[in-house]
Structure 1
Amino acid sequence: MKKKRNITSKKKVSGSKKKANRRAHQMTRRQLTENILSTFAKRPGEILNYKQISRDLNISSAALRQQVFSIMQDLAFDHLLLEVDRGRFKYNALGHIIEGVFQRDHRGNNKLLPDDGSTPIDIADCNSNHALTGDRVRAQLFAKRKGKNLEAEIIQIVERKDQQLVGVIEVSPSYAFFVTDDKKVGTDVFIPKEELNGAKDNDKVICKITDWPSNAKNPLGRVIAVLGPQGDNNAEMHAILAQYGLPYKYPENVEKEADKLSLDLTKEVLKGREDFRKVTTFTIDPADAKDFDDALSFEKMGENKYQIGVHIADVSHYVTPKSVIDEEAFSRGNSIYLVDRTIPMLPEKLCNDLCSLKPNVDRLAYSCIFTMNDEAKILEYHITRTIINSDRRFSYEEAQQVIETGEGDLKEEILKLNQLAQTLRDKRFKNGAIGFESQEVKFKLDEKGKPIGVYIKESKEANHLIEEFMLLANRTVATHIGKVKDKRTKPKTFVYRIHEQPDQDKMLNLRDFIGKFGYKLKTSGSNLEISDSFNKLLSDVHGKKEETLISTIAIRSMAKARYSTENIGHYGLAFDYYTHFTSPIRRYPDLMVHRLLTEYLNGGKSQNQEKYEEACKHCSETELIAAQAERDSIKYKQVEYMQSYLGKVFDGIISGVAEWGLYVELSESHCEGLVPMRSLDNDFYIYDEQNYCLIGRRTKQRYTIGDKVTVKLAAANLERRQIDFELV
């Protein structure tokens, strides 16, 4: 009997092994990998070989055991296991769990950005564990599959990002949902009735997520601000600002602090300032400008000799470090210019009154005073604090009329300054500055902010006049502080506006691409030789069919300018030293420059570089965010403008090509929209990334940047700020 029971027992075991092997055979390699990792994780300190792991998983098949060994080798290669010696492995806890920030892009793709700066890791929606963009998370890595990116599953949300979401409230009798088109969010938010904060159905609101229970399909949230009815101009502009975490109103305590300030021209205030109140001085600004932060003075000093003052609002006199006004200005980093409004960096009392260089009132300024001859050669200069009184406020159009007709107020001063500015401009390009000319889209708005017309703002001599003297002042200030006579002396800490040389690989790609059109580009040699070649290319393509294509790609090859305490020069302007000194009302870096100037002109020692480098980084980031908000406001107004033209046919130029379709810019209004790939139904189109075109597989039809096309307006979606065209 005993023997019989043993035989039965063996049969049961044998059957169990067969079932285990059968289950293992039915597993995918990924499932088997996860089981192997799980086994190691349960025995973290032990050193195990493939036989021990196979035994733990009830695997006896030779083929499967060989697969177990193969997987363990792959896991060691991916640093999830450590191979202690040949064929013997242990669990690598550090390689298995990774921390970082969760990000979802505008196309709904999820990534984990590891803290160590290594390659981003894919996170499937089903493995995101309710993480939201910006959350700090801990994730468990999966074994790397051949031909696939690294993948992981979020196992813990370490810290929720305190973020505000912008969208629309949909209110039902017993509940409400917050809905957003922002694909980086990826979910609607359930809003309990008591958390509506007065929001009504179809209101544009700012929402904050308060919780996301593990068993809930949607997160819970509350409305923290009601912006107004969807479609209302103010509500939509505020929504754009809120989307980027930008303020749409000024804090009351900061406004109150600004109201305490006054223009009190005491002897103490005027001590050490040069008095320019009797020197001819004027401003040239856009017609709708309210804050005037720069003025020019002009005085003839004799035959072929002129004294020209570049006077900049002395914001640092009023805004002291670490004051509430200063902290708010630093947080903002810069003013923001939406289509229909300006969100100022400083309170209105300062930017539109005390600091604004308005005509016929005394104002404090920080000035670069130049003595020049007719060839625009600087005979001498000095940097000083001044008091000025502007004689006249010109719009660009008024100054341009004086230049074109030779008649009008202050004609002698404006004409001479224009001649000097043109000479400075010519010298700049001869020294290697690159002549990119960007178009600025402007809107004619009715009293409710609705666009009734679109036009392109032209840059003429009056614009160049101001531009060249501002560039001169910026370069002079940067050189004055940054260029030391003794090379053994380290320059004092300063804030520079820098622009790196183009990436060599991008330049080579550009050279190869334009070669297909018969153009050449020098990619090696001196900066002057390369920039001359760049300018020749831009000149050669002007007016040609391929101008849009080549200009677009040329601009993309350039780096973005930024702020830094490490001076590397400004490649695009061909300046060895350059800073931003001329707009402290609307840019915080200019305010930092004014303060550093004061310190150093008074004999002060070099300031803390690390502190200023952090501030530079912050200001570079706020500049990019402001630019994104500005572009979104333009896009919104373009869509709003086009809504009344549904079904109409327009001529346009292909301005961009992507795997999801063609971007077309209309020739007359310059509004841009998408021809979705799905609408190109006459063929299957392949995206040729290297040649910036779509190619029909059967017809070989090509659509390339710069091609002229005719399109019909198919849709204008304000919520998504998206225009859809169809090719005609």
Structure 2
Amino acid sequence: MLKSKTFLKKTRAGGVMKIVREHYLRDDIGCGAPGCAACGGAHEGPVLEPQPLDPASSLCPQPHYLLPDTNVLLHQIDVLEDPAIRNVIVLQTVLQEVRNRSAPVYKRIRDLTSNQEKHFYTFTNEHHRETYIEQKQGENANDRNDRAIRVAAKWYNEHLKKMSAENELQVILITNDRKNKEKAIEEGIPAFTCEEYVKSLTANPELIDRLACLSEEGNEIESGKIIFSEHLPLSKLQQGIKSGTYLQGTFRASRENYLEATVWVHGDAEENKEIILQGLKNLNRAIHEDIVAVELLPKNQWVAPSSVVLQDEGQNEDDVEKEEETERILKTAVNEKMLKPTGRVVGIIKRNWRPYCGMLSKSDIKESRRHLFTPAEKRIPRIRIETRQASALEGRRIIVAIDGWPRNSRYPNGHFVKNLGEVGDKETETEVLLLEHDVPHQPFSQAVLSFLPKMPWSITEKDMKNREDLRHLCVCSVDPPGCTDIDDALHCRELENGNLEVGVHIADVSHFIRPGNALDQESARRGQPVYLVKKITQPRIDMVPELLSSNLCSLRCNVDRLAFSCIWEMNHNAEILKTRFTKSAINSKASLTYAEAQMRIDSATMNDDITISLRGLNKLAKILKKRRIEKGALTLSSPEVRFHMDSETHDPIDLQTKELRETNSMVEEFMLLANISVAKKIHEEFSEHALLRKHPAPPPSNYEILVKAAKSKNLEVKTDTAKALADSLDQADSATFPYLNTLLRILATRCMMQAVYFCSGMDNDFHHYGLASPIYTHFTSPIRRYADIIVHRLLAVAIGADCTYPELTDKHKLADLCKNLNFRHKMAQYAQRASVAFHTQLFFKSKGIVSEEAYILFVKKNAIVVLIPKYGLEGTVFFEEKDKPKPRLIYDDEIPSLKIENTVFHIFDKVKVKIMLDSSNLQHQKIRMSLVEPQIPGISIPTNTSNMDISEPEKKKKKLEK
């Protein structure tokens, strides 16, 4: 059956266009109930169970199926995902609405409908002859969809009666819309709210905890006074933003101070790009990453960023008076130059809430069902939840979702979602850090795996088309010990004309991952692998399935592999005479570690082809590096740690900073050179559609702390250009303080901006500040970065090796891809640091109390941040303790320094600290540091100290990426 609509549309040119829309209706769409004679068994995929008696409902004791409306799917997805809920009919109308309103929920629903055990059946009611309805005149789309849902529910109940005369099977409509429920009951359809139905499941009382509370007003805390001002409606916010009264931006909560945040204003205007918010009332219930509207305060109310470290004590009562007293600490007299644009949140444009991992802080009231949940992410406020399982959830990692934030509550309201496991368990803690950093870590689906090549695999004649055979070359790889995903190899040989041929050979991953299929989409979603500290079940979260990453694409020795090669002809002064790119086949002659390669280079007795090749590469690399540094490339330092693990318990038994050799630098130089050469080539061919990588120059204000720190040691650091900075750092030496230069370079790293991917047609600034290169991209790690796969595809088209990539010239799609890749890169870095942090805590748990030398990196108003070189470990030593007499502290921002009694602390001063693990707060276990030397007469330095902030990305090193 065919229904069609015809209407006329006026074109921009003034003509009239006739539009015809056709809608096909069918009578062969199955209901999903097994054994239904009326349908003739016409259905595909997961179906409903024949006798859906579990769970048993006191409201509807007979067998039944559930039919939820759109709002139930959107807001009660946590309930629907519970194993107790099965046999659910998902209408096409509902699914389409969910898809338009929430992509994450839509994906979760699709996962449920593909899960055979859940028995979720998708019914295409919009194409079923008896359930399709037209929109009535004057009826809005929402009312039409509600009517379509009721029509489908009524049809189901009548249809199921035809199965047999004794059949008592019912379809129950689940809706939280009061009017929709009333109309359904009037039409003879069994209908309940989600809360009514869940509470009727007496065998599953734990489900009540998973109900989302949708009414903020109805969930306000008893007798609570109004704390926050009302959020303005979206229409007023949009008008205000358009007129310039309000500014729109992303809310970024502070990790160091729970009463402070910044809003990064959207748009091109440089003025007021960053707005400070201080105090609970000005934060006005915004949560980290929300899109908010802010109103600028008058200039006489502007404040400076606080140097005070403040952590929410998380009292069960809403003691706002104490908060206001604390806020006064922030507003101390400062230099007028330090004042920044300051504002307050007037409304929320878009909530960016997600499920949060953390722990329950059980209420002191014995019979209370209301408790506070402490998120693992410190930038998220505590969440008030109702649960009957508080005793069972104590000491466990759990997931909670936020439902709303009433105006009279100090904390938002939420509901329990999932119990992850015991605190301290390595697998549980790893799961938490992966979830918290939004790392896709589920096993690859069958749909993805179906696109892998069939084994055994070997290179065929078809594979060699448009490909050069380089298997005769003496190619070798140099990588860290234990590396299985080898994506780069090198060779160097002398040519007959006396010049040198140097080749960088990169795994041809794009040969196996074709654009648009499920494997390609999943690789793009993941963006890159995440390397964890010796995860028990898997050492890394791969971007591509292991068959590719550790086997077919890994350039292991003595096996034929497909590669993409960048080959230069150079003279002995490392000057490039010719460059060519080719798809190739190679056979690596050795897979070496950095130490093994270094040993060959240094050995006087070894003169085989591999060693000669390595020596040639090393010699050229030194020249390339020297030339790069002369142009102004930065060499920055950042402490990295390596764990030695117990082979049985997987606990860390030793921890030390990583050692770098000449061979590390050798490989790096040629990877950089290949990336620059490829960037030039793809930009020549695709000036508007090249995927490039840039590193913006930091604004001058970023360097203030570095300049002041150097000045305090009678040194001058110039920051006008990258060359000036590099030269200043090279000259900043002290005979009496050899570690000073390293500290300056670490501090310089903190001043840097983040390097990002971008589409050449959407940006004018290509420069890579850290590498002093006018153009740069990523080509050399396609196993580890999806960006490199796109670059390989661009390069393949540029050299005529492949022409089957249809979407390479859509710069808007490429810009969206870059945005996801930048996000994934940042989250992977943070997850890796969090993994290091957790294992550092395990190390010090077994180590006990340790005293070590440290250097001051930052001086705060009430604390010093120190770096312990031996462990590459950073932490904070506080000089104030709650409920104890406060020492007399004098903070000088200009030097910067902190005076305590007669002792003055400056940046880079050497101190001795005591290190131990503080497990008093299970949620935020931390490395505790207290001062041992210098001793301060008359002052007992408190020991309830710091967070070890290597788990906190903004306070940990921001390593300059290459």
Same fold (TM over 0.5): yes
- From 809, 824, 846, give the equivalent of 1:607: 809
- Residues 688, 360 of structure 1: CA spacing in aligned structure 2 closer, same or farther, 3 A cutoff? same
Following TM superposition, by how much is the alpha carbon of 1:618 offset from its aligned partner in structure 2, in angstroms?
Answer: 2.8
SS in 2 for 1:272: coil
Match of 1:310 among 482, 501, 504: 504
Name which of structure 1's ranges 345-354 and 251-260 shifts more when overlaid on structure 2.
251-260
Q: Give the counterpart of 2:773 among 566, 575, 579.
A: 575
1:109 aligns with 2:259: yes
Letter in 2 for 1:147: Q
RMSD: 4.0
Q: Give the drift of 1:258.
A: 4.7
Q: 2: distance between equivalents of 1:720 and 1:344?
A: 28
* Cross-structure match for 1:441: 641
Could you say which residue in structure 2 is the equivalent of 1:74? none
Offset, 1:132: 3.9
Q: Distance in 2 between matches of 1:384 and 1:113?
A: 47
Asked whether 1:461 is paired with 2:662, we answer: yes
Displacement after TM superposition at 1:580 (Å) = 1.0
2:625 counterpart of 1:431: no
Partner secondary structure for residue 339 of structure 1: coil
| Alpha-carbon spacing, 1:474–1:127, altered in 2? closer, same or farther (3 Å) | closer
- 1:380 pairs with one of 571, 575, 578: 578
| Change over 3 Å in CA distance of 1:173–1:287 after alignment to 2 | farther
What corresponds to 1:133 in structure 2? 288
One-letter amino acid of the counterpart of residue 133, structure 1: H
Is this contact kept in 2: 1:406–1:415, CA < 8 A?
no
Alignment of 1:187-586 (within 5 A): 187-190=382-385, 192-193=387-388, 201-210=394-403, 219-224=413-418, 226-253=419-446, 255-260=448-453, 263-302=457-496, 304-340=498-534, 341-407=539-605, 410-446=610-646, 447-482=648-683, 491-506=687-702, 510-511=706-707, 514-524=710-720, 528=723, 530=724, 533-538=727-732, 543-544=737-738, 546-564=740-758, 565=760, 566=763, 567-586=765-784
Please say if residues 102 and 112 of structure 1, whose CA atoms lie closer than 8 Å, have aligned partners that are also in contact: yes
Distance in 1, matches of 2:414 and 2:527, equals 33
The aligned runs of 1:72-91 (5 Å cut-off) are none
In 2, Cα distance between equivalents of 1:650 and 1:242: 34
Deviation at 1:459, TM superposition (A): 1.3
Q: Distance in 1 between matches of 2:661 and 2:278?
A: 51
Deviations 1:652-692 (A, max 9, x none): 22233223411223343333322112169794223333334
Contact 2:896 2:906 in 1 (8 A): yes
8 Å contact kept, 1:124–1:153: no
Once the two structures are superposed, residues 126-173 of structure 1 have per-residue CA deviations (whole angstroms, 9 ceiling, x without a partner) of 68776543445678x697594356665767x66543402011357899
Q: CA deviation at 1:581?
A: 0.6
Equivalent residue pairs, number: 632
State the alpha-carbon separation in 1 of the partners of residues 822 and 378 from structure 2.
Answer: 25
Q: Deviations over 1:248-271 (max 9, x none)?
A: 333424552354555453322210
1:333-386 deviations in Å (ceiling 9; x for gaps): 222222223222222222112211122222111110122333323232210101
Query: Aligned to 1:638, which of 840, 860, 864?
Result: 840
Q: Distance in 2 between matches of 1:602 and 1:93?
A: 49
Q: 1:203 to 1:670 in 2, by over 3 A?
A: same
Supply the AA of the counterpart residue of 1:440.
Answer: E
1:338–1:630 Cα contact (<8 Å) kept: yes
Query: In the superposition, relative to structure 1, how do residues 690 and 610 fare at CA in structure 2: closer, same or farther (>3 Å)?
Result: farther
Deviations 1:32-81 (A, max 9, x none): xx99x9xxx9xxxxxxxxxxxxxxxxxxxxxxxxxxxxxxxxxxxxx99x
TM-score (norm 2): 0.59
SS of the residue 2:478 aligns to: strand
- CA deviation profile, 1:641-662 (whole Å, cap 9, x unmatched): 1223444432222233223411
The letter for the 1-side match of 2:659 is: E
Q: Aligned pair in 2 of structure 1 residues 435, 235: CA closer, same or farther (>3 Å)? A: same
What is the CA distance between 1:544 and its match in structure 2? 3.3
Paired AA for residue 498 in structure 2: N
| More moved, 372-381 vs 267-276 | 372-381
Q: Is the contact between residue 696 and residue 755 of structure 2 (CA under 8 Å) also seen in structure 1?
A: yes
Contact (CA 8 Å) 2:506, 2:564: kept in 1 or not? Answer: yes
Alpha-carbon separation, structure 2, partners of 1:557 and 1:134: 23
Change (3 A) 1:114 1:286: closer
Q: Provide closer, same or farther for how the CA distance between residues 660 and 517 of structure 1 changes in structure 2, counting only shifts above 3 A.
A: closer
Alignment of 1:156-175 (within 5 A): 159-169=350-360
* CA distance, structure 2, for counterparts of residue 617 and residue 102 of structure 1: 18
- What amino acid sits opposite 2:425 in the alignment? D
The answer for unaligned runs of 5 or more in structure 2 is 1-227, 304-341, 933-962
Does the CA-based 8 Å contact 1:473-1:581 persist in structure 2?
Answer: yes
Deviates more, 1:231-240 or 1:598-607: 598-607
Cα distance in 2, alignment partners of residues 376 and 94 from structure 1: 58
Letter in structure 1 aligned against 2:616: K
Q: Which amino acid aligns with 2:621?
A: A
Q: What is the CA-CA distance between 1:594 and the residue it aligns to? A: 0.8
CA shift in 2, pair 1:642/1:568, >3 Å = same
Provide closer, same or farther for how the CA distance between residues 228 and 254 of structure 1 changes in structure 2, counting only shifts above 3 A. farther
Instruction: Report how far residue 309 of structure 1 moved.
Output: 1.8
Match of 2:929 in 1: 725
2:855 pairs with one of 639, 653, 658: 653
Measure how far apart 1:399 and its partner are.
1.0
- Give the alignment of 1:148-159 within 5 angstroms: 148=302, 152=344, 159=350
**Do the aligned partners of 1:261 and 1:318 also contact (CA within 8 Å) in 2?**
no
Alignment partner of 1:693 is 2:848: no
> Which letter maps to 2:352?
K
Instruction: List alignment gaps of at least 5 residues for structure 1.
Output: 1-33, 42-78, 83-90, 485-489
Alpha carbons of structure 1 residues 518 and 317: separation in structure 2 relative to 1, 3 Å: same
* TM-score, scaled relative to structure 1: 0.76
Residues 601 and 702 of structure 1: CA distance in aligned 2, closer, same or farther (over 3 Å): same
Cα distance in structure 2, aligned partners of 1:687 and 1:352 = 54
Structure 2 CA distance for aligned equivalents of residues 460 and 242 of structure 1: 35
Distance 1:100 1:540 in 2: 45
Report deviation, 1:181.
Answer: 4.4
After TM superposition, the structure 1 stretch with the greater mean CA deviation from structure 2, 288-297 or 533-542, is 533-542
Q: Is the 8 A contact 1:672 1:723 kept in 2?
A: no
The residue that corresponds to 1:46 in the other structure is none
Amino acid at match of 1:161: N
| Distance change in 2, residues 1:347/1:539 (3 Å) | farther
Q: 1:185 aligns with which of 374, 377, 380?
A: 380
